[in-house]
Amino acid sequence: MVELRMLGPIELAVGGRAVEVGPPQRRTVLAALAVDVGRPVTTDVMLERVWGMDPPQGARRAVYAHIARIRRVCEQTGGADEPLLCLVRRSGGYLLDAAPEQVDVHRFRRLIDRARGPGQPDGERALLLREALGLWRGEPLAGLDGPWAVRVREAWRRRRVDAAIGWAHAELRIGDPLAVIGLLPDLLGEYPLVEPLAEVLMRALHAVGRGAEALDHYAAIRQRLAEELGADPGPGLREAHRAILQGHPSRPSSRGTRGQPQSLLTQAQAQAQAQAQVLSAQTPVAPPTTRWPASPATWPTEIPAQLPIGVRGFTGRGEELVRLEAVLAAAAEQSAAVVISAVSGTAGVGKTALAVHWAHRVRETFPDGQLHVNLRGFDPGGSTMDPAEAVRGFLDAFGVPPARVPAGLEAQVGLYRSLLAGRRVLVVLDNARDAEQVRPLLPGAPGCLALVTSRNRLTSLVAVEGAQLLTVDLLARAEARDLLTGRLGADRVAAEPAAVEEIVARCAGLPLALAVVAARAAAQPHLPLAALAGELREAGSPLDALDGGDPATQVRAVFSWSYRTLSADAARLFRLLGLHPGPDIALPGVAGLAGVPAGRARALMAELTRAHLLTEHAPGRYACHDLLRAYATELVDTVDTETDRYAATHRMLDHYLHTARTADALLTPYERKLITLPPALPGAVPEEPSNHQEAKAWFVAEHPVLLAAIERAPATGFDTHAWQLASTLTSFLDRHGYWPALAAAQATALDSARRRGDRAGQANAHRGFGIAQDRLDHPDDARTHYQLALDLFGELGSHPGQARAHLHLARLSGAQGDSRQALGHAHHSLGHSRAADDRAGQSAALNHIGWFRARLGDHHRALTDCRQALALTLETGDLHSQGHTWDSLGYILHHLGRYEEAVDCYGQALALFRRTGDRHSEATGLAYLGDTHDTAADPEAARTAWTRARVITEELGLPDTDPLRSRILKQLMAR
């Protein structure tokens, strides 16, 4: 028996005897072959796996030398004529000819797949997973360095941990918690921050009567999470902790139990049970339909349906569709998520069209949703999508409340994958740049499938994630003719076969080029195809491709020919679109960019869409293939003057800036005086949202464009627009939890303002940066930026700016427990708001003054302050401030003993919080409402309010350390 072991130091064993392989570099070459055992590995892939993306000179010769020596080692595994392990050359690479069972990592994977198969009994599952875990001999690929080895090692570690968790749950279900206790402590020592490991160990300890020890484990991991990640335990761990406190058994067994009797409760556990009984006696349980379970996989989320509109008249690609169907069928037979990478060296070859077409065909197979994102991996403007932005978009698509989205990428990825657990979801990751951009977006749950498209061969996904590669090539002549037939009709194509052949040849089988030609022909049904072929012939000799020099594509020739057929106004608009930062554009933005009325913009966009130079990917929103964007950028840089380019960019930025300013003032009226804008350029045609809902919807649709504009503006000489756009976007990004994006935008704003020596810009950027740092739980940094903003606003004599900075400092001081300092800042804010004659600012400041006076016990003066604040906020129509002022009045009236009035005020506040979607404030108001009912001797109403508050805190996923959640639980336990 020959075994190749990689789950530990690389070893080749023959009949149990180790065979010397050689130095680390040779072992890496062997590992690079073994991960794809039975499949050829090209030399280029081996070079990348051994040396990374930039191999040294002589690396190829070194690979050949290592291959020769590995071949001789293989010959030692049996007779000279018939070795048990062979290394053979195949199709530009090398193939390690062995059975997967001979390689420990492949045996490990197969055992896991068998264990996770549908209908597998828990006893058999436990045996299979125990065997899989027994294959581990230590650190996988021990002694090997380099990015590839690191990635593979980390992926295998994750699989080991997942297998251990699955094994432990199976053992608990068949009633053997002692087996879990015997293995998991050592594994948890290796991975002390993996919460599911701690959870299942706690449940096992509880099952054998060691509840106090289980609670000690919870306390230890909770402290580690706080110290090392600044995070709190997740829902699963909290649920296990709660179950142990309440004396509930571990996860129900479907096969009976054979563990220790539950009568072995320790004294500490008995005390915990007694506390839980008090809690349950005082706390009504919310109906199941209104409580969210602990697991995100079972939250009542929305079902996303994000697939773009499919390509009309899609033809060809029969072989590729068959292969995709085969992958889907294989995925149904195994429990792991499947990744498909559709790659090609040629842009415009139809990768996206194929992916979207197939996704529409199979969407019924994924009833829990279809996610889609354009990662913009090769965007000519450089606005490649960050994985964090993509993950956040997926969370939004599932309807996750902004307050529930964690701050860090790692935590967001964890929440995203938890949402997919137990669901069947299709994830289309389009236009990826590299594997690192893709990895955080891959589902980890059985039943989900990811379809990735990229111009690069994402070979590292094969070794680490088990991806299956599918190359999309240029269309064959017959397929190209079919495409033209589908677009132009069989009769027209059959009437001019020679012209069709020439068009096919000059478009070189590139679907994008053929689609552009077909659009031109369809627009002129009486124009002979021979004339179109002649125009293509005259367009010039083969041109270099826009995507890296493939001479076969000739796309610029096709684009230029189509471009020349446009009307003058449409051609100008197409060029100007090269100035837009993307990722897409709405009709009002088009009008501002071109400086034309909205009706004219719509007509010109229709002309560009008919010419297949744009696509309307969503109603009223247009996008452009990145090759066409690159072509438009080339044209605008060569055809239009610098003056025209500057004017168009100025109009576009003015359009977005003035619209954002109007929308921001509707969301937060007391922000409107922070910056003063000059009039927009003629032709910028800013939009005029008329209410809170329209303003919010505009920001939801346009904030990716605004963020891209902030990033791009400084490079085109518009530093002032950069910081002003960032300032108008601050409230929206803050309230919707886009705090990393807020920090990045304010960093750009601050650099731009400093470069111009713009003190107003620096002040506003420091204020926005302070908000981001405050929300990201960096209070000291937040205070520094708030203070810098305050100083700069003071130097400028800006009363609105000083008023806002003092309000931020008041809230920060109050959160840190210093209500007296907070009251001082609120008084300063009021003074500056009055000096600025800013009634919205005065109402916000008065409400803060009343609140902090109430916290200090001065309730009569607090009542006067908040009544004045309410009168002002009713004048300004600021729903957000009205809700918080009614809430303050409820709190004050409660402490004055006027309980009925307090209940009415809380009712007003709660209605406004629901209207504005402020769930955290709604929970706070309900908690205080419960206090009022309780003090007024209405325990049933109190319990109802507290329970509703507790339900919302569960929905928001607030950690046990959150002040609101802690206070609610304390209230419930005290009564």
Which parts of 339-476 fold into alpha helices (H)? 351-362, 387-397, 409-420, 435-438, 460-465
Give Cα 156 to chain centroid, integer Å.
24
List, for residues 417-433, the tens digit of each pLDDT value. Answer: 888 877 889 999 998 88
| 296 has a pLDDT exceeding 60 | no
Q: How far apart are CA 528 and CA 499, in angstroms?
A: 9
| 765 has a pLDDT exceeding 80 | yes
Output the pLDDT for position 890: 95
* Shared-domain flag, residues 530 and 578: no
3-state secondary structure 551-566: CCCCHHHHHHHHHHCC
Q: How far apart are CA 631 and CA 196, in angstroms?
A: 51
Average pLDDT score, the chain:
81
Give the C-alpha distances (Å, rounded to integers) separating 158 from 153, 197, 217, 355: 9, 12, 21, 29
| 3 has a pLDDT exceeding 70 | yes
131 occurs within a structural domain: yes
Could you tell me which residue, 970 or 370, shows the higher pLDDT? 370
**Cα Rg for the chain, rounded, in angstroms?**
32
**Where residue 454 falls among pLDDT bands split at 50, 70, 90?**
confident
**Where residue 543 falls among pLDDT bands split at 50, 70, 90?**
very low
Give the C-alpha distances (Å, rounded to integers) separating 854 from 889, 925, 966: 10, 15, 21
296 occurs within a structural domain: no
Q: Which of 67-81, 308-322, 515-529, 628-642 has the lowest mean pLDDT?
A: 67-81
582 occurs within a structural domain: yes
DSSP string, 87-152: EEEETTEEEEES-GGGBHHHHHHHHHHHHTSTT--HHHHHHHHHHHHTT--SSTTBT--SHHHHHH
State the CB neighbour count (10 A cutoff) for residue 947: 21
Q: Contact, 758 vs 794, CB < 8 A?
A: no
Q: Contact, 916 vs 890, CB < 8 A?
A: no
Dihedral sign (CA 235, 238, 242, 244): positive
Query: Which residues, in sequence order, are CB contacts of 715 under 8 Å at separation 6+?
Result: none
**Where residue 346 falls among pLDDT bands split at 50, 70, 90?**
low
Could you tell me which residue, 864 or 92, shows the higher pLDDT? 864
**Where residue 325 falls among pLDDT bands split at 50, 70, 90?**
confident
Q: How far apart are CA 325 and CA 357, in angstroms?
A: 12
Q: How far apart are CA 759 and CA 158, in angstroms?
A: 50
Burial of 778 (0-12, 13-18, 19+ CB in 10 A): middle
**Where residue 286 falls among pLDDT bands split at 50, 70, 90?**
very low
Burial of 329 (0-12, 13-18, 19+ CB in 10 A): exposed
Q: 3-state class of 454 per DSSP?
A: strand
Q: Are strands 449-454 and 338-343 parallel, antiparallel or unpaired?
A: parallel
Output the pLDDT for position 177: 84
Q: 3-state class of 617 per DSSP?
A: strand
Q: Contact, 965 vs 956, CB < 8 A?
A: no
- For 843, the domain range is 838-975
Output the pLDDT for position 370: 93
The CATH code of the domain that includes 389 is 3.40.50.300
Could you tell me which residue, 404 or 100, shows the higher pLDDT? 100
| 279 has a pLDDT exceeding 70 | no
* Shared-domain flag, residues 631 and 682: no
| 585 has a pLDDT exceeding 70 | yes
List, for residues 74-100, the tens digit of each pLDDT value. Answer: 777 665 444 567 888 876 678 888 888
The number of distinct structural domains making up the chain is: 7
**Which pair of structure tokens corresponds to residue 800?**
């609105």
Q: What is the mean pLDDT of residues 336-365?
A: 75
Burial of 123 (0-12, 13-18, 19+ CB in 10 A): middle
Q: Which of 629-633, 765-769, 929-933, 969-973 has the lowest mean pLDDT?
A: 969-973
548 occurs within a structural domain: yes
Q: Flag whether the pTM goes above 0.75.
A: no
Among candidate residues 547, 564, 581, the one where a domain is terminated: 564
Output the pLDDT for position 830: 96
| 239 has a pLDDT exceeding 90 | no
| 289 has a pLDDT exceeding 50 | no
Cis peptide bond N-terminal to 583, omega within 30: yes
* Shared-domain flag, residues 20 and 166: yes
Q: What is the mean pLDDT of residues 685-708?
A: 92
The CATH code of the domain that includes 192 is 1.25.40.10
Q: How far apart are CA 650 and CA 643, in angstroms?
A: 10
| 761 has a pLDDT exceeding 90 | yes
Output the pLDDT for position 941: 87
State the CB neighbour count (10 A cutoff) for residue 490: 11
Question: Tokens 């008919």 — which residue?
Answer: 610
| 558 has a pLDDT exceeding 80 | no
List, for residues 899-954, the tens digit of each pLDDT value. Answer: 999 999 999 999 988 877 677 788 889 989 999 998 998 888 888 888 788 777 76
List, for residues 783-817, the tens digit of each pLDDT value. Answer: 999 999 999 999 999 999 999 999 999 999 998 89
Backbone torsion region of residue 15, taken as left when φ is above 0, otherwise alpha when ψ lies between -120 and 50, otherwise beta: left
Output the pLDDT for position 963: 57
Q: Which of 308-312, 460-464, 860-864 has the lowest mean pLDDT?
A: 460-464
Could you tell me which residue, 50 or 760, shows the higher pLDDT? 760
**Which pair of structure tokens corresponds to residue 893?**
């009236």
Q: What is the mean pLDDT of residues 358-363?
A: 88
Dihedral sign (CA 665, 668, 672, 678): negative
Q: 3-state class of 202 per DSSP?
A: helix
**Nearest of 720, 784, 781, 709 to residue 745 by alpha carbon:** 709
Could you tell me which residue, 37 or 344, shows the higher pLDDT? 37
* N residues, the chain: 975
| 68 has a pLDDT exceeding 60 | yes
* Shared-domain flag, residues 596 and 575: yes
Among candidate residues 152, 174, 196, the one where a domain is terminated: 174
Q: 3-state class of 429 per DSSP?
A: strand
311 occurs within a structural domain: no
DSSP string, 318-340: HHHHHHHHHHHHHHHTSSS-EEE
**Nearest of 56, 33, 39, 37 to residue 148 by alpha carbon:** 33
List, for residues 170-217, the tens digit of each pLDDT value. Answer: 888 888 888 888 888 888 888 888 888 888 898 888 888 787 788 888
Give, for 276, the enclosing helix (H) or strand (E). helix 267-282
Q: What is the mean pLDDT of residues 231-246?
A: 78
Output the pLDDT for position 968: 61
* Shared-domain flag, residues 890 and 771: no
* Shared-domain flag, residues 13 and 152: yes
* Shared-domain flag, residues 624 and 654: no
**Where residue 964 falls among pLDDT bands split at 50, 70, 90?**
low
Q: What DSSP character marks residue 305?
A: B
Q: 3-state class of 376 per DSSP?
A: coil
Output the pLDDT for position 84: 63
266 occurs within a structural domain: yes
Output the pLDDT for position 552: 30
* Shared-domain flag, residues 345 and 449: yes
Dihedral sign (CA 507, 511, 516, 521): positive
* Shared-domain flag, residues 814 and 683: yes
Query: Which residues, in sequence order, are CB contacts of 567 under 8 Å at separation 6+?
Result: 604, 607
Give Cα 289 to chain centroid, integer Å.
28
* Shared-domain flag, residues 771 and 652: yes
Q: How far apart are CA 821 and CA 852, in angstroms?
A: 9
Q: Contact, 301 vs 419, CB < 8 A?
A: yes
Among candidate residues 777, 803, 829, the one where a domain is terminated: 829
849 occurs within a structural domain: yes
The CATH code of the domain that includes 609 is 1.10.10.10
**Which pair of structure tokens corresponds to residue 738?**
């886009």
Query: Which residues, in sequence order, are CB contacts of 357 under 8 Å at separation 6+?
Result: 310, 311, 314, 317, 321
| 762 has a pLDDT exceeding 90 | yes
Q: Which of 265-269, 314-318, 484-488, 547-551 has the lowest mean pLDDT?
A: 265-269
Q: How far apart are CA 855 and CA 47, in angstroms?
A: 66
Could you tell me which residue, 142 or 341, shows the higher pLDDT? 142
Q: Contact, 383 vs 583, CB < 8 A?
A: yes
87 occurs within a structural domain: yes
Output the pLDDT for position 796: 95
Q: What DSSP character marks residue 574?
A: H
Output the pLDDT for position 149: 85
Q: Contact, 458 vs 467, CB < 8 A?
A: yes
List, for residues 605-664, the tens digit of each pLDDT value. Answer: 988 887 778 878 778 899 877 767 878 998 999 999 999 999 999 999 999 999 999 999
* Shared-domain flag, residues 351 and 262: no
Q: Contact, 788 vs 764, CB < 8 A?
A: no
Give the C-alpha distances (Å, rounded to integers) separating 481 from 450, 486, 494, 504, 511: 31, 9, 10, 7, 11
**Where residue 298 falls among pLDDT bands split at 50, 70, 90?**
very low
Angle (deg, nearest 10), helices 799-815 and 839-855: 20
Output the pLDDT for position 750: 96
Q: Contact, 161 vs 199, CB < 8 A?
A: no
111: amino acid identity, one letter: L
∠890-893-895 over CA atoms, to 5°?
A: 110
**Which pair of structure tokens corresponds to residue 174?**
């068949």
Output the pLDDT for position 755: 95
Q: Contact, 553 vs 545, CB < 8 A?
A: yes
| 282 has a pLDDT exceeding 50 | no
* Shared-domain flag, residues 49 and 114: yes
Give Cα 791 to chain centroid, integer Å.
37
List, for residues 808-817, the tens digit of each pLDDT value. Answer: 999 999 988 9
Output the pLDDT for position 588: 96
Give the C-alpha distances (Å, rounded to integers) separating 34 from 37, 95, 259, 449, 732: 5, 9, 42, 25, 51
Output the pLDDT for position 322: 83
Q: 3-state class of 86 per DSSP?
A: strand
